[in-house]
Amino acid sequence: MIQKLFLVVFVLLIAVTFSPAYAQHHSGSLAPPVDFDGLKLSLIALLTPEDFTLDDSENPNLSIRLFDSDTDINVKSVTYRIQIFYKNDLVANEYFFDEDGKLDLEIKPRSECIHQDLWKCTTYYGEKHPIAGGYYARGDSIPVIQGPVFDKNGQYEINVSIVGATNPKTMTTKDLLFETFVEIPQKETFFVKTANAQEFPISIKSYNSETSNFNYDVSQEKITFETTPQPNAHQHHSNFEQVIILEKDFESFKDGYAVDVFVEGTQLNDEFIEFDVSSRDVNIIKIEIPNEEFPSFNNDNSLNVEISPGNLIEYSVLDLKFDNNVSANVSWDSKLETGKNIPFTFSFFDSSNNPAEEILFAYSIIDSSGKEIWSNIGSGESYLGILAKNGMAKESIFIPENGKYQLKLILTGQNYQNFENFLISQIDFELSQSQMDKKETPTVPDWVKKNAGWWSSGIIGDQEFVQSLQFLIKEDILLIPTTDSITSESQEIPDWVKKNAGWWSEGLVADSDFVAGIQYLISSGILVV
């Protein structure tokens, strides 16, 4: 654990103040404080990766930390009794010991169990402490729990009893019981085909809900589905959450473009959506909506969800350099408004301009009066800083108003180890009303031009392409005199119009020329308006 003095010096360096946060989240929960020998002790249990499911390649890690809630300092030499329940069935029951008050356990989920009492199928690996008697970490080796633990979706109750603290020989007169929980999402995988007949898996991880009526619209590159809360789903967890996992080669959703999400016909604000492209293999869309935004979800009503690729994002970018030849750029969507959380992307590069792996960093933002408005030093116990695993990390930052600001960025380490001396770089930037109000000439979404190319090649039919035109007219992107709607008739569309559409999709024909072709179809009665 980082020495207290070291923390204090760094906190003063970037003028950060912090205190323990008490919250509940699907990946774990923080139990309320209890009194122990004049101290108010609290315990937190966290599961990483936070969206773990059984078929993931990486085993999860369960972290349990006991600390003084007033000072946020860990209690030393703790003996734990850990009981894990799934739907009232005991699946694990064992004693553990940890010197620094933070216990890390590797979980190896196994579904095969022939016993009615599931805990009989659970085994434990590691060394036992010679005095405390519980399994404990020694060197780089941590205790392992293997069995029917976190092998199913749903809520797991984790009851942690503190039977000893401050010394391996010191036992509490009465066990201190902390009740926490973690939730394992339900993962469903659907296979879709693109216009060129390539098949891709799309996985959806849902918390406390089930997915139905999944569909992928090739012509609009749109994912749609319904999600329905499970019974008793909101006992602890009230937010609506979905994690959509897409392969990198699935080009409908790609880096540099926005993701538009509609729930019950209402477009979500960007603060509820995260498009994570930091992984080498997959892109991940994360949706988290506070319960108050859609209270009907708690009334067992299903929600209709639509996800489609948005327009090209115009980024504002800050470039920073450090003395160890690492460089960074910090970017955000220039069209987003202040007064709410704005997603900032922190990207780090080595001297060869390749992503700098496993970077640890902290930052603060200061306004024109010198007041710090936002900061983050990370939440790791064994290192200081936020981990940019593949050289990239996203932070949701609240910027109160337009104006001039200063970003102070600090490299604190790499590869899970802190540097002896931190590296600091800072830069001034401005968010102005003129930047926010900047209007762009309406652009045709890429998916519409792709449709035009596919239509010209005969990959999609007339009706699918007409739907694209309906979208353009509705959005006032293509201004064509219309009355009610466009419908496709059986008359044959001239080859030159399809050729025009293909050239338009490749950028060889201007929008005005393409519109002239559509107007011809309308005036000829081939497309009825």
Q: Which two tokens stand for residue 525?
A: 């009665």
Residue 290: how many CA atoms within 13 Å on its side-chain side? 4
| 18 three-class SS | coil
Amino acid occupying residue 347: S
CATH class of 315-431: mainly beta
The CATH number of domain 28-183 is 2.60.40.1940: yes
Instruction: Locate 471 and state its tokens.
Output: 């979208």
Q: What is the DSSP letter of 138?
A: B
**What tokens were used for 262?**
């509609």
Phi-psi label, residue 434: left if phi above 0, alpha if psi -120 to 50, beta otherwise:
alpha
* Closest listed residue to residue 233, CA positions, set 307, 150, 299, 167: 299
Q: How far apart are CA 459 and CA 454, in angstroms?
A: 5
Cα 317 from Cα 325, distance rounded (Å): 19
List the chain pLDDT tens, one digit each, 529 residues: 444 344 444 444 443 333 333 445 556 678 888 887 788 899 999 998 888 998 887 899 999 999 888 888 888 899 999 999 999 999 999 999 999 888 999 999 998 888 999 999 999 999 999 998 999 998 888 999 999 999 999 899 999 999 887 665 555 667 889 999 999 999 999 999 998 889 999 999 998 788 999 999 998 899 999 988 765 544 445 577 889 999 999 988 988 888 999 888 888 888 788 898 888 889 999 998 877 666 555 555 788 899 999 888 888 999 999 999 999 999 998 888 898 889 899 999 999 988 898 999 999 999 999 999 999 998 776 789 999 988 999 899 999 999 999 999 999 999 888 999 999 999 999 987 544 444 444 567 778 888 888 888 888 887 777 777 777 777 766 555 444 444 444 456 666 677 777 777 777 766 666 766 676 566 556 665 4
Residue in this structure with the two tokens 């948005």, named with its chain if needed: 310
Q: Residue 415: left if φ>0, alpha if ψ -120 to 50, beta else—which one? A: left
- Look at the pTM and tell me if it is higher than 0.75: no
CA distance 83 to 208: 23
